[in-house]
């Protein structure tokens, strides 16, 4: 059993995590759009597709901004973030406004599409925490089997 509460919920993310979130979000978006073709009306399918597109675009832009900030000087970052954020949210706002004005919108489907990256991100982090917790609890409980201490780091054991 784990005795240290600090180690129970440790989370370390590798360099490829943001790209895997983007790829998983893209695949999940495509699956939802294809499934909505047969189960939801055309309006719902278009709303999901637009929401997914906007969500994926916002996530990719945010990841690009973070990579840019890591590579450049600290004094340039604040102004760059402000400019890109104003442009990004202005474009997204214009896209949403024009979509809502010129097309019929299913609000639930649009919200699902807009939240797809957040859903994938939360699922990946929770699953990583759960796997870490399970690995630590198994390692902690298997060291003392039947009252005998087992050292699994030695060869031949």
DSSP letters for 106-126 = -HHHHHHHHTHHHHHHHHHHH
> At which residue do the structure tokens 């989370």 appear?
11
Domain that holds residue 38: 17-135
Residue 23 in domain:
yes
Residue 156 in domain:
no
Angle at the Cα of 29 from the Cα atoms of 20 and 13, rounded to 5 degrees:
20
Average pLDDT over residues 30-50: 91
Three-state SS at 88: helix
Highest mean pLDDT among 48-52, 79-83, 100-104: 48-52
Residue 81 in domain:
yes
Residue 50 in domain:
yes
Residue 152 in domain:
no
Average pLDDT, the chain: 81
Considering the entire predicted model, what is its pTM?
Answer: 0.73
Residues 105-136 have pLDDT tens digits of 888 988 999 999 999 999 999 988 888 888 87
Residue 67 in domain:
yes
What's the domain count of the chain?
1
Residue 57 in domain:
yes
Least reliable range by pLDDT among 12-16, 26-30, 79-83: 12-16
């Amino acid at each position: 059993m784990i005795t240290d509460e600090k180690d129970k919920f440790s989370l370390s993310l590798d360099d490829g995590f943001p790209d895997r979130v983007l790829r998983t979000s893209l695949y999940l978006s495509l699956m939802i759009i294809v499934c909505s073709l047969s189960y939801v009306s055309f309006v719902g399918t278009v709303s999901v597709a637009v929401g997914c597109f906007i969500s994926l675009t916002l996530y990719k832009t945010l990841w690009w901004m973070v990579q840019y900030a890591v590579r450049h000087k600290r004094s340039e970052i604040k102004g760059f973030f402000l400019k890109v954020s104003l442009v990004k949210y202005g474009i997204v706002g214009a896209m949403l406004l024009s979509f809502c004005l010129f097309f019929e919108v299913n609000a639930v489907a649009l919200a699902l599409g807009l939240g797809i990256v957040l859903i994938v991100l939360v699922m990946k982090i929770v699953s990583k925490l759960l796997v870490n917790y399970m690995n630590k609890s198994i390692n902690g409980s298997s060291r003392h089997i039947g009252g005998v201490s087992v050292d699994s780091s030695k060869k031949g054991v």
